[in-house]
């Protein structure tokens, strides 16, 4: 992996921990409580600060700020944190904030790509394989599953949840939860259709995609409220498959209602 390289104009504060093969560019900054895993790359003017841990092979582009202090006005002095997995890419001007209070965390999984100016606020829990387009933002305490796509300039209200393999379309304003496997669009965003292309690309069988379509019809097209649709869906054979289990489990845990 090679030795660690730090440009002479970069600032790496005493206490920062750097893994093997880390590369830090000109005028970059690493705070005293930050940890960079093996093979991380900070381009020029990139910043990793706060009580932040980046997993191996993350890449931070110019002017991104990873581990900035929360903007939540409830914050008090302490040491909240940010945990980031492996192979995440943060493009120009991306910002990710720490948790709000001591012992609280913002977390990201592996293989996420955040495009320029994307923002993840305090206490969010983000899975793996997220693609988050430019100028989009997650409010505080948002939960995002795996293999999610968030389009350009989309805004997600605090405490919302987005299920696995879902998509939030460009310029959407999301104020309720998006079930797994669904595309949501609009202002406010509504669940429009099943994310067939995304499911196919991720290895879902045609029969599983049909299960997702059947659930979408049941919850959004048959004139039932969520409780009625949940009861009816639970009695169907598809409820025991991986699509049914994921969908019904998500709905049961929803607190903001379904978009």
Residue 141's pLDDT is 98
Domain 201-253 CATH assignment equals 1.20.1180 = yes
Query: How much of the chain exceeds pLDDT 70, in percent?
Result: 100
**Least confident range of 69-78, 91-100, 146-155:** 69-78
Rounded distance, CA 218 to CA 54, Å? 42
Domain ranges of the chain: 5-141, 201-253
Rounded distance, CA 51 to CA 144, Å? 22
Which DSSP letter does residue 237 get?
Answer: G
Q: What is the pTM of this model?
A: 0.95
> Would strands 182-186 and 189-194 be described as parallel, antiparallel, or unpaired?
antiparallel
Class level of CATH domain 5-141: mainly beta
pLDDT bin (cut points 50, 70, 90) of residue 1 is low
Is residue 77 scored above 90 in pLDDT?
no
Would you say 213 and 203 are in contact if contact means Cβ atoms under 8 Å apart? no
Rounded distance, CA 98 to CA 121, Å? 8
Q: Which residues does the annotation mark as catalytic?
A: 122-123, 140
Would you say 52 and 31 are in contact if contact means Cβ atoms under 8 Å apart? yes
Could you report the per-residue pLDDT of 158-192, keeping only the tens digit for each? Answer: 999 999 999 999 999 999 999 999 999 999 999 99
Rounded distance, CA 159 to CA 174, Å? 11
Average of per-residue pLDDT across 53-68: 98
Average of per-residue pLDDT across 97-119: 97
Which string of DSSP letters, residue by residue, matches 71-115? --TT--SS--EEEE-SS-EE-TT-EEE--SSTT-EEEE-SS-EE-
Could you report the per-residue pLDDT of 14-56, keeping only the tens digit for each? Answer: 999 999 999 999 999 999 999 999 999 999 999 999 999 999 9
CA angle (218 as vertex; 216, 223 as ends), nearest 5: 120
CA angle (156 as vertex; 154, 158 as ends), nearest 5: 160
């Amino acid at each position: 992996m090679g030795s660690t390289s730090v440009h002479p104009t970069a600032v790496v504060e005493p206490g920062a921990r750097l893994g093997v093969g880390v590369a830090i560019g000109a005028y970059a900054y690493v705070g005293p409580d930050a940890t960079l895993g093996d093979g991380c790359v900070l381009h020029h003017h990139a910043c990793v600060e706060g009580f932040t841990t980046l997993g191996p092979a993350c890449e931070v582009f110019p002017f991104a700020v990873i581990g900035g202090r929360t903007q939540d006005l409830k914050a008090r002095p302490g040491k909240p944190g940010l945990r980031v997995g492996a192979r995440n890419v943060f493009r120009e001007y991306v910002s990710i904030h720490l948790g709000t209070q001591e012992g609280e965390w913002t977390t990201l999984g592996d293989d996420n790509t955040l495009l320029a100016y994307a923002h993840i606020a305090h206490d969010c829990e983000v899975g793996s394989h997220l693609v988050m387009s430019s100028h989009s933002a997650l409010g505080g305490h948002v939960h995002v599953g795996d293999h999610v796509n968030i389009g350009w300039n989309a805004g997600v209200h605090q405490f919302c949840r987005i299920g696995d393999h879902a998509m939030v379309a460009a310029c959407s304003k999301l104020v309720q939860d998006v079930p797994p496997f669904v595309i949501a669009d609009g202002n406010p965003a509504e669940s429009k259709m099943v994310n067939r292309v995304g499911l196919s690309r991720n290895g879902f069988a045609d029969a599983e995609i049909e299960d997702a379509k059947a659930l979408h019809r049941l919850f959004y097209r048959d004139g039932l409220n969520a409780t009625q649709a949940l009861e009816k869906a639970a009695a169907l054979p598809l409820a025991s498959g991986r699509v049914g289990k994921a969908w019904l489990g998500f709905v049961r845990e929803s607190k903001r209602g379904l978009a």
